[in-house]
Structure 1
Amino acid sequence: MHVFMVECNPNGIAGIANALDLGHEVTLVTADPDFYLTVSPLAKDAFAHERCHVLKSDTAFSLDALEEIVRNVHAERPVHGVMTYSEYHTVHAAHVARVLGLPGMSVEGALNARHKHRTRLTLQGSGVRQPEFVHVKSEADVEAAIREIGFPCVVKPSDGTASLHVLHLKDETDLAGYLETLSGVTDYGRGVVRIPDVLIEEFVPGEIVSVEACVLQGGDVVNLGITDRVMSGFPYFLEMGLTFFDDHPLRDELYALNSVVLKELGIDFGFVHVEYILGPDGPVLCEVNGRLTGGIVPSLMKITSGGVDPYLEVIRQALGETPRLPVPGEVIATGRWFGSPVAGTVTNLDFSRLDGLPGFHEAQGYRKRGASITRLATSNFDWLGHLIFTGANRDEAAERAERALDLITLEVAVDVAR
């Protein structure tokens, strides 16, 4: 069968590889094929496969241009499923699926998840607890909105992802710096144009968790498990670690709330990732992502579910099949990311001291020797790599992973002139 993929993400290249292994044909539309060749060790072989077609298009972020592309592809080689792993392109995938009459999330539901201001506005009056917020349509209005919400607050672009340009503001100095930075952001790369909408929200203290779910054809919501978060300190919101499991003390409340959120937003198909803040008065909705969770969480899901690969199940569901569901089992998997305390050039990254440690499953670096790197500071794009450990429970797995971070050898050449 023929899968039409609208962009991807670095780890999602594994889904392309899996689909090819099963005999499927894949067409990937992307503004920047070299991006994947740089960040994924699987991309070179996948892109060279005879059944993988990589179409470079600088205009595919335009729905009209993308529609013309997919109609031409479909006329030449009929498309049987449409999907994406990319947060930036969930609306695009929903639109293309509708154009071809194939399984997919409703465009309205995809828009309600993709744009954070639409999530907030749609859920007003639904009974779902959300932070107090103000939606503005230009950064020129951010300052006045912050006066309404007050410090401390959280400010975020409505169409961002990976915690990029999400900031905790405590005072006027933070605000001035943020506005200066945001004014220079017009796109997110790979042809993705930023919309001007911004959300200003009250700061709600509490642990951040996410519920991973799958909405089956017909709209039935299946809550799969909960992912906890290890976060960096303010003012940024970097994720530095997580665990996928299901025995959280608020599981039943979170699952019930999540089902309400998805139905109210019109999210009627596909894997979904929804984040909550466990505030003083109970769970508060943080944001909704209308696609499979990113980063290393799909790998954790595959490990603890006994081999059910979420990347492949996204494709199977797009092709009209009933997906197998990766629910946590007896072995729990956790991951930790790491970065550099300074900018420079990677001269050595070595994981050899992790071999043989109890629960060690995987370690991976994202930058080769000689690559220029930034300091771990502002967003998840600053990560240099990750490691994954397993344990009999969340605490054991997390303890093993935390200890292992000290055994990674990272050497960086610093340009003192910079």
Structure 2
Amino acid sequence: MNSSKSVLLVIGSGLKLYREYLVRSAAARARRAGHELVLINNLRPTWQHEYFDEITVVNVFDHELLTRTAREIAARRTVVGVLCWDEPLVMPAAELAAEFGVPGLGIAGVQGCRDKYSARTRLTDGGLLQPGFAMAADLAQAREAVERIGYPVVVKPRALGASMGVMLARDDQELHEAFQVASNASLVGDEPFRGGAIVEEYAVGPEISVDAGLHKGEYLPMFVARKRTGSHPYFEETGHVVDASDPLLEDRELMDTLARAHQVLGIENGVTHSEVRLTDRGPLIIEINGRVGGDLIPLLGKIATGIDPGEVVVDVALGQRPDTHRPERGVAGIRFGYPEHDCLVRSVRVPREAPGLVTASPMVEPGTTLRLPPGGYIARHSFVVCRADDPRTCEERLTTASGMVVVDAEKVAPKSPDSLLEMPAGLLDVDE
């Protein structure tokens, strides 16, 4: 390292709509600690200028180019930490942290987060409750897996996020469709994980997520989100509710399971988003992601608990134990608006006032085509965020506010089942 002003290197800013609140807090925390924030981003910056001291634009999905760019920055700036909250980039970010000798998830840890098959294998070998599972290169292997596991099964890509390409199959006909959906979806992901699909036992029970900080392997839970899903037999996430007083935060079996899982996967320093099914056999980890949660869950956590995930991300990147004490005792939730069928959106109007409304926003521009699974995923036209003193009132307020969203759209024909997955419009950042 050189003697220039110390910087935190950020790999990908994420979307303004989904991540600006996180960037704002991270920038403030970094500067209070005496560090600048340097961004390597895929697109020409607009809103990012307010928060970053230096921005370099390269194709971050070309990992060799990303690495060369980061090394060039490290040659003239003193990199004291690496931050990343963008799912496709957590692996190169962890590799850069290891190369620069700064705290990070660890190579083994991020491998367990990105590769669902590796995670299943390692968690099973570590003695944690896991479903029966198998990696299938083709439909014949998928059928062999089902003979051992039994129906129903979940079929999923090996490394995609946001439930893209994930489908429930209850018989052989549905297995054929589910395998095709998952395998086709995998083709838009990282090259090492393309093709084939994971076939696993369907775990019955409510699904939750837990965001937590990791400091030298110590698991520090921040908040629990209760999840709503739709679009059966797919697993589209339609909403979340975070309660600062959720009794699951004091559930020793759940928290011990999560702590053990992180230890087994070798996750060292960072922030993770774990998805868990609460089954009659106990908590079953669906996956652990090496980043904060999506869907504005960290914002809900901040509103409900007072914990600022943007500050926690900086603290763990600097090797400092974060403060995960919950000073607030509220409830916050989000509800996403989905169309009933594939459509071309003409306009979206969201409420400006409603009981407990914190914020609401359209998620697409006029002229956007929204496609439901399997032709597309996360076909959201809007969201509303509400707060309340208890979960029931929060859910009621979310229902009221989401009912005030007005969408003008034209129905369009669905894509052919053989078509390549269309990336969600709401996940793609655009130049302004």
What is residue 313 of structure 1 aligned with on the other side? Answer: 312
Q: Can you list the C-alpha shifts for 1:322-342, whole angstroms capped at 9, x where unaligned?
A: 434373732111111112223
Q: CA deviation at 1:236?
A: 0.3
CA contact (8 A) 2:228 2:237 kept: yes
CA contact (8 A) 2:86 2:291 kept: yes
Tell me: CA distance 1:364–1:174, structure 2 relative to 1, closer, same or farther (3 Å). same
What is residue 29 of structure 1 aligned with on the other side? Answer: 40
| Distance in 1, Cα, partners of 2:400 & 2:321 | 40
Q: CA deviation at 1:127?
A: 3.2
Q: CA deviation at 1:410?
A: 1.2
Pairing partner for 1:373 from 370, 375, 378: 370
Structure 1 unaligned spans of 5+: 35-42
CA contact (8 A) 2:182 2:196 kept: no
What is residue 410 of structure 2 aligned with on the other side? Answer: 413
2:389 alignment partner AA = A
What is residue 122 of structure 2 aligned with on the other side? Answer: 122
Residue range with higher mean Cα deviation, 241-250 or 202-211 = 241-250
Secondary structure of residue in 1 paired with 2:210: strand
Tell me: CA distance 1:67–1:154, structure 2 relative to 1, closer, same or farther (3 Å). same
Q: How many residue pairs get matched? A: 402
2:14 alignment partner AA = N
| Distance in 1, Cα, partners of 2:301 & 2:162 | 19
| Distance in 2, Cα, partners of 1:341 & 1:121 | 38
| Distance in 1, Cα, partners of 2:124 & 2:384 | 40
Secondary structure of residue in 2 paired with 1:79: strand
Pairing partner for 1:61 from 60, 63, 66: 63
| Distance in 2, Cα, partners of 1:185 & 1:329 | 40
TM-score, structure 2 as length reference: 0.84
2:218 alignment partner AA = D
TM-score, structure 1 as length reference: 0.86
Q: Can you list the C-alpha shifts for 1:58-104, whole angstroms capped at 9, x where unaligned?
A: 66335xx4433221121133322112102222222111001000111
Q: CA deviation at 1:282?
A: 2.1
Residue range with higher mean Cα deviation, 10-19 or 86-95 = 10-19
What is residue 271 of structure 2 aligned with on the other side? Answer: 271
Tell me: CA distance 1:57–1:362, structure 2 relative to 1, closer, same or farther (3 Å). same
Does residue 15 of structure 2 align to residue 15 of structure 1?
Answer: no
Does residue 388 of structure 2 align to residue 391 of structure 1?
Answer: yes
| Aligned counterparts, 1:193-342, within 5 A | 194-196=193-195, 198-216=197-215, 218-245=216-243, 246-248=245-247, 251-306=251-306, 308-325=307-324, 327=326, 329-342=328-341
CA contact (8 A) 1:98 1:104 kept: yes
Q: Can you list the C-alpha shifts for 1:291-340, whole angstroms capped at 9, x where unaligned?
A: 1111110110111123x431343134313444343737321111111122
| Aligned counterparts, 1:125-136, within 5 A | 125-136=125-136
Structure 2 unaligned spans of 5+: 1-5, 416-432
CA contact (8 A) 1:351 1:407 kept: yes
| Distance in 2, Cα, partners of 1:84 & 1:58 | 12
Q: CA deviation at 1:18?
A: 4.2
Does residue 6 of structure 2 align to residue 4 of structure 1?
Answer: no
1:2 alignment partner AA = V
CA contact (8 A) 1:94 1:110 kept: yes
1:6 alignment partner AA = I
Pairing partner for 1:362 from 359, 362, 367: 359
What is residue 89 of structure 2 aligned with on the other side? Answer: 89
Q: Can you list the C-alpha shifts for 1:191-213, whole angstroms capped at 9, x where unaligned?
A: 77644463211112111012222
Secondary structure of residue in 2 paired with 1:206: coil
| Distance in 1, Cα, partners of 2:208 & 2:50 | 38
Q: CA deviation at 1:110?
A: 1.1
Tell me: CA distance 1:412–1:178, structure 2 relative to 1, closer, same or farther (3 Å). same
1:242 alignment partner AA = H
Q: CA deviation at 1:417?
A: 11
CA contact (8 A) 1:29 1:60 kept: no
What is residue 346 of structure 1 aligned with on the other side? Answer: 345
Q: Can you list the C-alpha shifts for 1:168-200, whole angstroms capped at 9, x where unaligned?
A: 0112222222333445445436x7764446321
CA contact (8 A) 1:310 1:326 kept: no
Residue range with higher mean Cα deviation, 177-186 or 333-342 = 177-186
Tell me: CA distance 1:328–1:393, structure 2 relative to 1, closer, same or farther (3 Å). farther
Tell me: CA distance 1:395–1:50, structure 2 relative to 1, closer, same or farther (3 Å). closer
| Distance in 2, Cα, partners of 1:76 & 1:57 | 21
Identity %: 24
Tell me: CA distance 1:198–1:61, structure 2 relative to 1, closer, same or farther (3 Å). farther
Secondary structure of residue in 1 paired with 2:247: coil
